[in-house]
Amino acid sequence: MLQRVLFFLGVLAFFSSISPSIQAQQSKPSNPLTDTQKEGRRIFQQRCAVCHTPPTAIAKRYGPALYKEIVEDNEDTIRDTIMEGREALMPGFKYGLTRPEIDSIIEYLKTVKRPSSRPSNNRTAGNPEGNSSTGETN
């Protein structure tokens, strides 16, 4: 009986010691999103993420990654690009998104951290075996 009690106390002590670290990982972020930024995130995920985020860990994205450092101080250029698009690169959304929706996307993008660098999969028709910029094989 004493062994069971000691075992139980040991298990309880173990879980008590790891509980604070689990709670820290699950705690709310220090800068929660505003309602406008949440709306921007929702619209970005529905309308923009297909091209501006990689669909899988090894796939490359169609458009550039968008994050805080790119957007800040370039709001007018980003807004114009979203509205008018870029010939042969990106469609315009001036008929599909309102100005407040575009502004909410921009506000959300100001909260996005720069994506971490990872080895890219730059296989091209001319260089199907390796990295097109360095000549290294994958």
Inter-CA distances, 30 with 21, 23, 24, 26, 40, Å: 16, 14, 11, 12, 19
The model's pTM: 0.63
pLDDT tier at 103 (50, 70, 90 boundaries)?
A: very high
Does residue 27 register a pLDDT over 80?
A: no
Q: Return the pLDDT at 87.
A: 94
Residue 29: pLDDT above 50?
yes
- Mean residue pLDDT across the chain: 76
User: Span 63-84, mean pLDDT?
Assistant: 96
In this structure, is the dihedral angle defined by the CA atoms of residues 133, 122, 55 and 52, taken in order, positive or negative? positive
pLDDT attached to residue 42: 98
Q: Which CATH class is domain 32-115?
A: mainly alpha
- Judge contact between 107 and 36, C-beta under 8 A: yes
